[in-house]
């Protein structure tokens, strides 16, 4: 099954300094039928104004991944970590038994655009931790590049962040007519999110077209083909989930 979730149907929260689009039930948006997809609990598409952000606040028992799409994001936490991230960088924080952190836009002129994703961990009570990793944006052309993984076979220090869940996040960029294939394991799920452009996704007898910021939740498809179908590159996030 390929279930499509159009971008325009996401919940939109506007706070002046923050424009946020929720793919799952979150904060003031409550939908008992849209709480999670496997262990994936949150995907917020955020636009944070210059010199604004989220002050120190707590988290626990959640794996939090931040992908900055444009601009720059500054992270600080109660573990003593401090980092600045832009496109090509990943932040992964395991909240575990409890941690405080802040996320601020350090620019006085430019907004920062990011995806923040929360995943339920494979086990409770782990020690909080934080890391940054980076990938080469040029490497995304025509292939699925792992950026976060719970698999030791895919983890590479500095390039693939480690997450406490049986899942892997990939990025790819596809020119018009260019395709990548992904084999979906038995009893696995795939979440697709189109960052830019548009793509066609095919699995078995099903197919669908997705535009910018559309998403798909896919189950029971052994082999997936994703094909770029716009003049500009189609940039796609694929998450393999239990």
Output the pLDDT for position 19.
98
CA distance 86 to 110: 12
Is the pLDDT score of 156 beyond 80?
A: no
C-alpha distance from residue 114 to each of 7, 48, 102 (Å): 15, 8, 14
Q: pLDDT tens, 202-242?
A: 998 899 999 999 999 999 998 999 999 977 789 999 999 99
Per the CB < 8 A criterion, the answer to whether 63 and 92 are in contact is yes
Mean pLDDT throughout 5-32? 97
Output the pLDDT for position 28.
92
Output the pLDDT for position 174.
97
Output the pLDDT for position 204.
85
How many other CB atoms are there within 10 angstroms of residue 35's CB atom?
Answer: 12
* Mean pLDDT (the chain, rounded): 95
Residue with tokens 């018009």: 176
Evaluated on CA atoms 241, 160, 144, 5, the torsion sign reads: positive
Domain extent listing, the chain: 2-241
Residue with tokens 């996040």: 169
Output the pLDDT for position 211.
96
Q: Give percent of the chain with pLDDT exceeding 90.
A: 93
Q: What is the CATH number of domain 2-241?
A: 2.60.120.10
Is the pLDDT score of 195 beyond 80?
A: yes
CA distance 138 to 87: 12
- Stated pTM of the model: 0.95
CA distance 171 to 164: 19
Residue with tokens 């080469």: 136
Is the pLDDT score of 157 beyond 70?
A: no
Instruction: List beta partners, residue 176.
Output: 228
138 phi and psi angles, rounded to 5 deg: -70, -20
Q: pLDDT tens, 90-146?
A: 999 999 999 999 999 999 999 999 999 999 999 999 999 999 999 999 999 999 999
Q: pLDDT tens, 49-58?
A: 999 999 999 9
């Amino acid at each position: 099954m390929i279930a499509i979730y159009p971008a325009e149907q996401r919940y939109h929260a506007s706070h002046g300094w923050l424009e946020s689009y929720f793919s799952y039930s979150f904060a003031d948006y409550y939908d008992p039928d849209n709480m999670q997809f496997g262990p994936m609990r949150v995907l917020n598409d955020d636009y944070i104004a210059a010199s604004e952000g989220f002050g120190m606040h707590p988290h626990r028992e959640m794996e939090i991944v931040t992908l900055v799409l444009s601009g720059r994001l500054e992270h600080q936490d109660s573990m003593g970590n401090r980092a600045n991230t832009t496109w090509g960088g990943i932040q992964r924080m395991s909240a575990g038994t409890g941690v405080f952190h802040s996320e601020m836009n350090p620019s006085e002129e430019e907004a920062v655009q990011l995806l923040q994703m929360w995943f339920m961990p494979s086990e409770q009570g782990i020690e909080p931790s934080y890391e940054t990793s980076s990938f080469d944006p040029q490497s995304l052309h025509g292939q699925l590049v792992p950026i976060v993984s719970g698999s030791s076979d895919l983890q590479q220090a500095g390039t693939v962040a480690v997450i406490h869940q049986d899942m892997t996040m990939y990025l790819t960029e596809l020119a018009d007519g260019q395709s990548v294939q992904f084999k979906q394991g038995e009893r696995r799920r795939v979440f697709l999110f189109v960052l830019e452009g548009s793509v066609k996704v095919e699995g078995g007898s099903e197919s669908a077209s997705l535009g910018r910021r559309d998403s798909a939740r896919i189950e029971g498809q052994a082999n997936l083909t994703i094909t770029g179908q716009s003049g500009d590159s189609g940039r796609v996030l694929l998450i393999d989930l239990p």
